[in-house]
A and B are shown apart, each in its own frame.
Chain A
Amino acid sequence: MSSIILEAHSLTKKYRHTVALEHIDLQIEKGKIYGFIGQNGAGKTTFLRLATGLAFPTSGSLSLWGKTDTKELQEQRKRIGCMIETPALFPTMTAYQNMEVQRIQRGIPDKAVIEKTLNMVGLKDTGKKSVRNFSLGMRQRLGIAIALLNTPEFLILDEPINGLDPAGIVDVRNLLKSLNNEYGMTILVSSHILEELYQTASEFILIDKGKIVEEISAYELNERCKRHIAIKTTSPQKALLVLEEKLHTENFKLLPDGIIHLYDYLDDMEKVAAALSDARILVTGLSISGDTLEDYFLSKTGGTGNVKSPKS
């Protein structure tokens, strides 16, 4: 059985004056948590709306569990739980009643699932309080609860931690991780809060101006963001020997393009330069590199406008 849950081929969405998505090729694999990152207007929500059937692509194809036919695609959406932009709630109803509407329309026979899911998001004790009197964070939690009601195989959350307090953010993060661990749930989360995504996701999709800029795993991202001395030389193998023998370190990596990343001596770059110079190795570049997570994303998405870190 294929491990691909969602696949997009050359997916394009145009509005009257703008191209929201341009030839998107993307695969979402089973059991992973994906962080979907991009600035406002980058096309994140448009993509999620296409995936959830709220909008139709101008061209290209989208498949869910290998199904591409319109009717079959819609049928597969029963396996998805989602919250796109703001939670879909009836303001005059209570949290329980909101969940009950969703339970009925999804054909879930067991009413106990409502209490269980409300408990999961910390909304068990809201009683007869109408949703209109809920705080933004509570609404967000209820939206997440609705998305989780049928224990979906694929969970899509658009900005789920908007309006949540720090404790709520931690709760949601832990919840997503436990859902992924316990049920093998595949999760696609879009967010502006990079540090939060960084702590949750195992894969990252960077989107900018309607195009996928990069798909990268958390491991690769860590490697790229790690601070290091980047050494450019005409004799990399010889330089590695010098680092081992003269500087007594093996904490380095030789990249395919010949650049050496040295993770030690960050505070003593002169010593590295001197060692290489003494060994008569021509060094064409020597600098400290490594981005913060935020820097890395901004360098890829090309802007500083809307992507934010809680630390900034």
Chain B
Amino acid sequence: MSNLLKAEFYKLFHSRYFWGIGAFHLSLSSVLLLDSIGETSNLFFASLYNTPILYFLAIVFSALFVGNDFGQRTLQSYINTGHTREQVLFVKLLVYQIACMIILALPLLIHGLIGELFLKETFVSVGGNLNTVLTATVSLFTMCLLPFFFAFIFRDTGKALAVPMVLFFLMIFLMNGDQALFISQILPMGQLRLIALQQLTAPMMPFILTDFLWIFILYFGAYLGFRHSDLK
């Protein structure tokens, strides 16, 4: 499995999509700060406020990094060469999650540090915010898993892009509807928005558990869908 992991990292570092989407996300997130800074109390939260909107970039990355692997039969080549499906799924998930977390979280870290260093904001040093950081991390992780799940269910670039994209717009729509608060609490994307607006008050544990439930459903859904499926 370590060989598979090394191969996936090699692919990731040679992936134009990863660097391109990562750079685009960082720049777009920075531009959008101009809009969100007025809504929130510091640069980190302002950046976090924009993360749900920029979630579509994670969906695009997933379709290209995972969906393309199915479409071009490169993922199938791992199975041809004797790796088990469990190993393939796990390694793909691990590398994809790391990449997705880097794409989504890098602007948060950079903007948080800029706020800390140049604007004298004190987000990082406040111990009480560790819970917030933890919840945001788990929410981001869960958000990344949704397009991954669809990529493994559909095993096709187009569907891996289209279905999560429709869901993305649906979630945005629901988060602005009558049940906005409730929906936002159970959707990882909504949780991020609530954290950014500091409307997600302690205890955070129910939200983290909700995210873990999502993780469990999505990961095992992907596993069950992939375990005995016929590949092209």
Mark A residues whose CB is within 8 Å of B: 49, 52-56, 71, 74-80, 82, 84-93, 97, 100-102, 104-107, 146, 150
Contacts and interface: CB of A to CB of B under 8 A. Distances in A.
A75 B83 CA distance: 7
Given A56-B230, A105-B4, A106-B3, A146 B10 contact: no
Interface in B1-38: 3-4, 6-7, 10-11, 14-16
A38 B82 CA distance: 27
Nearest to A55: B230
Contacts of A49: 230-231
A77 B3 contact: no
Contacts of B80: 52-54, 77, 80, 82, 84, 88
Top-7 shortest CB links A-B: A78-B82, A105-B7, A55-B230, A88-B73, A88-B77, A107-B3, A104-B7
B125 interface: no
B198 interface: no
Contacts of B6: 104-105
Interface in B79-113: 79-84
Contacts of A107: 3
Contacts of A97: 14
Contacts of A54: 76, 79-80, 230-232
Contact of A105 (B15, B16, B83, B84): B83
A58 to B, nearest CB: 10
Interface of B: 3-4, 6-7, 10-11, 14-16, 72-74, 76-84, 228, 230-232
A146 B78 CA distance: 12
Contacts of A89: 72, 74
A87 B73 CA distance: 8
Given A86-B73, A90-B72, A78 B81 contact: yes
Contact of B10 (A53, A87, A92, A100): A100
A104 to B, nearest CB: 4
A105 B14 contact: no
21 contacts: A49-B230, A53-B80, A54-B230, A54-B232, A77-B80, A78-B81, A80-B80, A82-B80, A87-B73, A88-B76, A88-B77, A90-B72, A92-B15, A100-B10, A104-B7, A105-B4, A105-B81, A105-B83, A106-B3, A106-B81, A150-B81
B81 A77 contact: yes
A101 B76 CA distance: 13
Given A77-B79, A150-B81, 13 more contacts: A52-B79, A55-B230, A74-B83, A79-B82, A80-B81, A88-B77, A88-B80, A100-B10, A101-B74, A104-B6, A105-B4, A105-B7, A105-B77
Given A104-B3, A104-B7, A104-B10, A77 B72 contact: no
Contacts of A77: 79-82
Nearest to A100: B10
Contacts of B15: 92
A87 B83 CA distance: 18
B84 A90 contact: no
